[in-house]
Structure 1
Amino acid sequence: MFKERVLTALVLAPLMIGGIFFLPLQEFAIFIAVIATVGAWEWANIAGYQKNWSRILYALVVFLCLYASARFLRIHEEYKVYYLAAGALWWVLAFALVKRYPGGTEVWAARPIRALLGLCVLIPMWVGFMHLKVSEHSSLLIVYVMLVVWGADTGAYFSGKRWGRSKLAPHVSPGKSWAGFWGGLATTLLVAACFAFYIDGWLRPVDTLFGLQLLLITLVTMVISVLGDLVESMMKRHRGIKDSSSLLPGHGGVLDRIDSMAAAVPVFAFMMLILDWNLT
């Protein structure tokens, strides 16, 4: 299993790095849309659509929604904030669903509702990535969001393994603990401090306002990234499956790799917009 995870990571890492740093805007949009479409094929299974034709149909619907959104936002860019606001609102509602689980499943147990929730996850994720891509120093912003998510996950793993007795959400993900959450938070704060130091030395002076906004955006993004993982775990537990698919040997499915990122990116982009925060 470990060997499979390493080999898969060695293949995926260059693809992600190449996509982030070297793809022009249009190709990058297609790149993220492909990831979202594969994620949609997996989400259909999580939603309860087991037949392959229904999963392909759902993936096609999501791809068409992404295409329609791209065409619409190309003309009406000012509506981007509403896409991201809808995505952020979904994660607020998702917190309530996770907190109530295993109660409250009657609200979202129906397959069409779970399918609709997939749109709330995948479309804002694509819009969020595109907002970051068109921003100044786009590659740096995207890498920073990834470092926040990976930092939270890594810190949670080691601190949870060492001190994780009190469970964060025992009915949803028994492996997650409050010690893991605080360890992930501490790691994220370290990532933010290193990022601010880099920005101050290479791009612009980091004043109090910039620093406070960076801290706020980072903390909210970190919390939402944890929620993204919990929501997928909740959906899979309700569905009775361990992984979203077996596309990535040793890792499960695409959604199993991007669940935290799918939550973090649109919220990070939304906060950038409402706080008018950028790196210039």
Structure 2
Amino acid sequence: MLKQRIITALIIIPIVWCGLFLLDGSIFALFIGLVITLGAWEWAGLAGLNACLLRVIYVAIVATLLFLMHVLSNIIVPWILCIAVLWWALAIFLVLTYPRTSNYWSSLATKLVIGLLILLPVSQGLAELKNAPLGNWLIMAVMVLVWSADIGAYFSGLAFGKRKLAPAVSPSKSWEGVYGGLALTLLITLIVGIMRDWSLKEILLALSIAVVAVFISIVGDLTESMFKRQAGIKDSSNLLPGHGGVLDRIDSLTAAIPIFAACLWMIAS
């Protein structure tokens, strides 16, 4: 399993990094769209669409919506980001009240719509970050925040974890892990701010955004875990040998990217 994970990572990581940081414009949107449509294929199965034709139709709908969002991006940016904020606020409630409230979203139609709410804003968020000044650095920033939160949470939870974060959804996660992940991301943000000679106001603003991004990335992770638990599966698919599926790799980012972009958009407006 470890050998398989390493081989897959060595193949996937260069492709992802080249796609994120070397591509621009419509080619960048096409690359992101490919990743999102793969996630849509997995989500269709997770939601309960077992027939191949129905899953293809769902993927085609997602691809069409991604194309329309790309064409109309200058008009719909605030709307898509606003929808993302509202959805992830609702997701917090759903995770905290699972399984008591699961009957409200357990129907196939509802889960398919939720898939759109999870997947579509990611492309808009990435496009917004890419088109901003220092776009590649902003994309890097949100990824570093999420990855450092995961690393900090893992080691902190391993060493100190006692109080369960959401035992009905993910029994292994603890509040101590959350605090450890948050501490590491805040430390990294502070170091970057000092090295780049940010003002006190800029540092405090960056720390605030980091807190929001970290907490919402955890919600993204827990949300996918909630739907997988409801479906009785461990991984969203086996598209990435040794790593599960695309959704398993980007679950935290599906929440963090649009919310991070929304924070920056509100600051710039």
Would you identify which runs of 4 or more consecutive aligned residues in structure 1 move more than 6 Å? none
C-alpha separation between the residues in 2 aligned to 1:43 and 1:22? Answer: 28
Letter in 2 for 1:191: I
5+ long unaligned stretches in structure 1: 201-205
Matching residue within 82, 93, 115 for 2:90 = 93
Q: What is the rounded CA distance, in whole Å, between the counterparts of 1:195 and 1:62 in structure 2? A: 37
Q: Secondary structure at the match of 2:172?
A: strand
CA contact (8 A) 1:164 1:178 kept: yes
Q: 2:132 aligns with which of 131, 135, 144?
A: 135
Partner of 2:142: 145
Q: 1:30-69 alignment to 2 at 5 Å?
A: 30-69=30-69
1:28 is displaced (CA, Å) by 0.8
The residue type equivalent to 1:67 in the other structure is F
* Secondary structure, counterpart of 2:106 in structure 1: coil
Other structure's SS at 2:171 match: strand
1:126, distance to aligned residue in structure 2 (A): 0.5
Q: Is residue 213–residue 275 contact of structure 1 (8 Å, CA) maintained in 2?
A: no
Partner of residue 231, structure 2: 239
C-alpha separation between the residues in 2 aligned to 1:90 and 1:26? Answer: 27
| Matched length | 269
How far did 1:79 drift?
A: 2.8
Q: Which residue of 2 aligns with 1:163?
A: 160
CA distance in 2, matches of 1:274, 1:55: 36
Task: Give the Cα separation in 1 of the matches to 2:238 and 2:206.
Answer: 37
Aligned residue identity for 2:119: L
Secondary structure of 1:8's aligned partner? helix
Sequence identity (%): 44
Contact 1:5 1:251 in 2 (8 A): yes
1:190 aligns with 2:187: yes
- Aligned match for 2:103, one of 102, 106, 118: 106
Correspondent of 2:204 among 203, 212, 219:
212
Give yes or no for the alignment of 1:10 onto 2:2: no
Tell me by how many angstroms 1:78 deviates.
Answer: 4.2
CA offset digits 1:14-73 (Å, max 9, x no partner): 112111221122111111110000000001111111222211211111111101111122
Are 2:249 and 1:252 aligned? no
Deviation at 1:87, TM superposition (A): 0.5
User: Which blocks of at least 5 consecutive residues in structure 2 are unaligned?
Assistant: none
With 3-12 and 238-247 compared, the bigger mean Cα shift is at 3-12
Amino acid at match of 2:205: Q
Aligned to 1:269: 261
Whole-Å separation in 2 of the counterparts to 1:173 and 1:7: 28
Q: Partners in 2 of 1:194 and 1:139 — Cα distance?
A: 19
Measured after TM superposition, the shift of residue 166 of structure 1 is: 1.5
Distance 1:23 1:72 in 2: 20
Q: Contact (CA 8 Å) 1:168, 1:178: kept in 2 or not?
A: yes
CA deviation string 1:161-180 (max 9, x = no partner): 11112111000001111111
Aligned match of 1:203: none
Is the 8 Å Cα contact of residues 166 and 179 (structure 1) preserved in structure 2? yes
Q: 1:227, 1:260 within 8 Å by CA — same for their partners in 2?
A: yes
Instruction: Look up the match of 1:181.
Output: 178
Q: Which residue identity does 1:9 align to in structure 2?
A: A
Deviation at 1:155, TM superposition (A): 0.7
1:126 pairs with one of 94, 108, 123: 123
CA displacement at 1:187 relative to structure 2: 1.1
Q: Which amino acid aligns with 1:65?
A: L
**CA distance in 1 between partners of 2:263 and 2:123 (Å):** 16
TM-score (norm 2): 0.97
User: 1:18 and 1:80 mapped to 2: Cα distance?
Assistant: 25
Contact 2:69 2:76 in 1 (8 A): no
